């Protein structure tokens, strides 16, 4: 048996750790359990976005020491990156998870000990409001304490740059290097200066809400028809205050809550998994909608950057829309509405554009092409959308952008996905559709008829622990060494390998360079427009399979048959790809 993890555990018996931690580690060592190995077999990886892991004692856990070491490394890098700043500042926010506020305080103490001014939110706030605050207070960076939609035992530490976006190259890898230099807690400045902490709240909320109000495209329609009934649930998280308030300020009056889920509780007592992508998470909200006759259901994840929605179908039944469908609806609404208002192609002398990720529906591209609006295609992760915004901000204006994992954003003042803004635009789109005699569902069917019926499916396979990482690596290796020649009978014509930065054209046998940054993603494109993408998650112990298929429909009546056929095709694809 390897002694590496035991040796690593024994380093936690020094005076750098509190008595309770030392006693717990001693007990773990004496028992020699699997828990000890999993807690200490490696250092919790500070990835390109920060930390995310199970809370507890150990080098492979989220705790005050791993958070403190991460903060010290990040602080060191910020000081080196902004030497001209005499009094550099950072913003810190946290969600409802167990220990999030405690970890936020630790983070604030370490930053102030390193000479930073800290803008610390008084209570839990959404991730997008942290992004806004970084720009609002002219900070050099920021930290959000959240594990997003992960299970209750997780927490995380998301790192932001001075533009309010999660860090990208070269800062991501450089921060990792600085964090790795902090080898033990004795190198962390834990004793901070509380006088350098400014508690923020209401003033920031007001500025953020006013910015959202400035984006609205249909205020006159909302004034006329503001009786739209919306059930909203924060799933025990940070959206509880800001989402209803934003909707009300725009003009919506019938916001119906789910009282049991308005309670901020890191144990998430009413849901197994606080993820708006999970149908079970919206079950209580849909029941509430059926009780009240609501038109739309909205649910945000714990840090309120992702939005899930349900709408009524042609039979009046509540059905869930996925992230691709929501992105397509919002893309169409925003572009068509801007066109109606004469704002489509220009804003303050700049040309507009949109952005999506490579695993997000190509329906967005079809819509953008129709309106002659450029669409950038970027790697998975909203930080890459924000990177385009930063690169283009002096030349063009960002209309909106989205990703299949229920993330969307409009405008430039937030540089991350924003469920608060998305909620407002979904409600706006519903009112606009109503003015055309349509429901949101009917609008979606109209989009399918006009631009093509695109249907997507996602499979996530969890592989926990040390063995899980190895299994995921082997799966990716198989796809590279033995790629499929056909998928569901259709020839694979292109293979995009984003790790090799290469596209292989199987028809001409030519190779093309991919100009996007390297990423462990492989994508198969078939002759019938089927697209299958495979990638390990960057934040969870999962490997993800994305399937996209397409057909054409000419009427609403054709939809059900086409939907069944595409569903069967997706099932066959999933079965085939999982056997490779």
Distance CA 326, CA 440 (A): 10
Where helices occur in 373-438 by DSSP H, the ranges are: 382-392, 419-435
Q: Is 148 a catalytic residue?
A: yes
453 close to 550: Cβ distance less than 8 angstroms: yes
Whether omega for the bond prior to residue 170 falls within 30 degrees of 0, making it cis, is yes
Cβ neighbours of 238 (radius 10 Å)? 35
Angle at 276 between CA 275 and CA 278, to 5 degrees: 70
Distance CA 337, CA 339 (A): 5
Q: Which residues contact 276 (CB under 8 A, 6 or more apart)?
A: 149, 235, 282, 299, 300, 301, 306, 307, 308, 406
Q: Are β-strands 296-300 and 307-312 bridged in parallel, bridged antiparallel, or unpaired?
A: antiparallel
Element (H, E) at 212: helix 202-213
Q: Which residues contact 242 (CB under 8 A, 6 or more apart)?
A: 125, 126, 129, 205, 208, 209, 304, 420
420 close to 304: Cβ distance less than 8 angstroms: yes
Which of the 8 DSSP states describes residue 570?
H
Where helices occur in 372-414 by DSSP H, the ranges are: 382-392
The side-by-side arrangement of strands in the sheet containing 50-54 is: 50-54, 154-161, 141-145, 89-94, 117-121, 197-200
Which of the 8 DSSP states describes residue 215?
T
39 close to 21: Cβ distance less than 8 angstroms: no
Cβ neighbours of 460 (radius 10 Å)? 12
For 326, the 3-state DSSP assignment is: helix
**Phi/psi of residue 353, nearest 5 degrees:** -155, 165
CA 547 to each of CA 309, 334, 405, 455, 504: distance values in angstroms, whole numbers, following the listed order = 21, 26, 13, 8, 19
Task: Name the catalytic one among 81, 100, 131, 148.
Answer: 148
Distance CA 178, CA 75 (A): 9
Give exposure, 413-448, as e/b (b: 16+ Cβ within 10 Å).
bbbbbbbbbbbbbbbbbbbbbbeeeebbbbbbbebb
Dihedral sign for Cα atoms in the order 271, 273, 279, 281: positive
Give exposure, 349-379, as e/b (b: 16+ Cβ within 10 Å).
eeebbbbbbbbbbbbbbbbbeebebebbebb
For 98, the 3-state DSSP assignment is: coil
Angle (deg, nearest 10), helices 323-340 and 419-435: 60
Residues known to be catalytic: 148
């Amino acid at each position: 048996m390897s002694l590496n993890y035991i040796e690593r555990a024994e380093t936690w018996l020094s005076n750098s750790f509190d008595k309770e931690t030392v006693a717990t580690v001693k007990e773990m060592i004496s028992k020699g359990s699997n828990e000890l190995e999993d807690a200490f077999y490696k250092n919790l990886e500070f990835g390109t976005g920060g930390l995310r892991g199970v809370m507890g004692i150990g080098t492979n856990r989220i705790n005050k020491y791993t958070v403190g070491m991460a903060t010290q490394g990040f602080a060191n890098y910020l000081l080196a990156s902004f030497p001209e700043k005499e009094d550099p500042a950072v913003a810190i926010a946290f969600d409802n998870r167990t220990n999030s506020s405690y970890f936020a305080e630790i983070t604030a103490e370490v930053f102030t000990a390193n000479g930073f001014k800290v803008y610390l939110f008084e209570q839990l706030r959404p991730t997008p409001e942290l992004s806004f605050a970084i720009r609002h207070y002219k900070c050099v960076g920021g930290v959000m304490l959240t594990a997003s939609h992960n299970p209750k035992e997780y927490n995380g530490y998301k790192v932001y740059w001075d533009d309010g976006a999660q860090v990208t190259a070269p800062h991501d890898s450089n921060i990792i290097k600085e964090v790795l230099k902090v080898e033990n807690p004795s190198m962390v400045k834990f004793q901070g200066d509380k006088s350098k902490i400014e508690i923020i709240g209401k003033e920031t909320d007001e500025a953020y809400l006013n910015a959202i109000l400035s984006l609205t495209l249909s205020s006159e329609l909302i004034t006329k028809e503001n009786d739209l009934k919306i059930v909203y649930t924060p799933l025990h998280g940070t959206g509880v205050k800001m989402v209803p308030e934003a909707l009300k300020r725009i003009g919506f009056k019938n916001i119906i809550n789910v009282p049991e889920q308005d309670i901020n509780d890191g144990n998430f007592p009413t849901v197994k998994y606080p993820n708006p992508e999970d149908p079970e998470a919206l079950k209580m909200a849909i029941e509430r909608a059926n009780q009240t006759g609501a038109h739309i259901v909205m649910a945000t994840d714990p840090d309120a950057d992702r939005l899930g929605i349900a709408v009524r179908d042609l039979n009046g039944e509540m059905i869930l829309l996925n992230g691709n469908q929501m992105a397509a609806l919002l893309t169409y609404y925003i572009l068509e509405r801007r066109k109606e208002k004469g704002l489509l192609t220009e804003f303050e002398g700049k040309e507009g554009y949109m952005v999506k990720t490579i695993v997000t529906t190509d329906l967005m591209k079809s819509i953008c092409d129709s309106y002659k609006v450029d669409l950038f295609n970027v790697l998975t992760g909203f930080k890459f959308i924000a990177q385009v915004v930063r690169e283009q901000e002096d030349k063009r204006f960002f209309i909106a952008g989205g990703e299949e994992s229920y993330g969307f954003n409009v405008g430039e003042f937030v540089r991350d996905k924003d469920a608060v803004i998305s909620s407002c635009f979904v409600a706006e789109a519903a009112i606009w559709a109503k003015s055309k005699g349509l429901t949101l569902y009917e609008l979606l069917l109209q989009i399918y008829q006009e631009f093509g019926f695109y249907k997507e499916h996602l499979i996530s396979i969890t592989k926990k622990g040390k063995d899980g990482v190895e299994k995921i690596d082997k799966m990716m290796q198989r796809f590279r060494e033995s790629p499929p020649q056909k998928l569901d009978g259709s020839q694979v014509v292109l293979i995009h390998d984003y790790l090799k930065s290469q596209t292989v054209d199987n028809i001409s046998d030519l190779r093309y360079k991919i100009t996007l940054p390297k990423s462990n993603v492989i994508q198969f494109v078939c002759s019938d427009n089927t697209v299958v993408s495979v990638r390990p998650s960057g934040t969870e112990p999962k490997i993800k399979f994305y399937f996209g298929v397409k057909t054409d429909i000419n009427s609403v009546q054709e939809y059900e048959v086409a939907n069944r056929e595409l569903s069967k095709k997706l099932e066959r694809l999933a079965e085939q790809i999982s056997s490779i």
